[in-house]
Amino acid sequence: MLASEYRHVGSSNAVLVLGDSISAAYGIDKRDGWVALLEKRLASQCPNINIINASVSGETTTGGLARLPALLAVHQPSLLVIELGGNDGLRGLSPRQMLKNLQQMIALGEGAGAQVAVLGILMPPNLGAAYVRLFEQAMAEVAEHESVLFQTFFLQGVAGQADLIQVDGLHPTAAAQPRLLNNAWQLLEKPLRGLCQTSTR
């Protein structure tokens, strides 16, 4: 589904972000993370939207899938943002299992009445051409889900930029967070505005 086709179907004005260290603001002040910046942006534009950041550093799609049912039951979000898969890739876990986990999370989110958005990730070439190809194919299958909002590479413009990556070579710096927000905003702006309009009626 295109972002412009957003429909409000959840039972609250909550946005649930389920991610890993990238969304958990690993290594930087949590107030500087992209999710916190999103919350700040919405505070002036649409204060009725409640952002819940359920991201955990080191999280895999298996861990996210295990946690999601309880999070959906508690928060009843209208929009579920999934930013997972990076740790599956870095640990060399099965791309097919990652795909199944993401598909199950999408189904759970939609079953709970939430619109689902997936912030995709790509793997660096040093993991091997065969694995990278399988990983990309799995992410491409997620993108084919007709009702899901999908972004191919959430770290676009950040990955590979030495001045935007911490000394561990993996995690974005505080300076990179506005770029991550802009990347996410390209996908989330229209559904968030639709949610804002609905919640203020």
Q: Is 171 a catalytic residue?
A: yes
Listed in sequence order, the residues at least 6 apart from 127 whose beta carbon sits closer than 8 Å to its beta carbon are 89, 90, 92, 135
Cβ atoms of residues 83 and 19 within 8 Å? yes
Cβ atoms of residues 83 and 149 within 8 Å? no
Cβ atoms of residues 23 and 17 within 8 Å? yes
Q: Using CA atoms of 133, 135, 137, 141 in order, give the dihedral in degrees to the nearest 10.
A: 180
- Say which of 21, 23, 55, 78 is annotated catalytic: 21
Task: Count how many residues are written for the chain.
Answer: 201
Q: Is 21 a catalytic residue?
A: yes
- Say which of 20, 75, 88, 171 is annotated catalytic: 171
- Longest Cα–Cα distance of the chain, Å, equals 52
Q: Is 168 a catalytic residue?
A: yes
Q: Using CA atoms of 142, 169, 63, 10 in order, give the dihedral in degrees to the nearest 10.
A: -50
Tokens of 40: 């700040």
Active site residues: 21, 168, 171
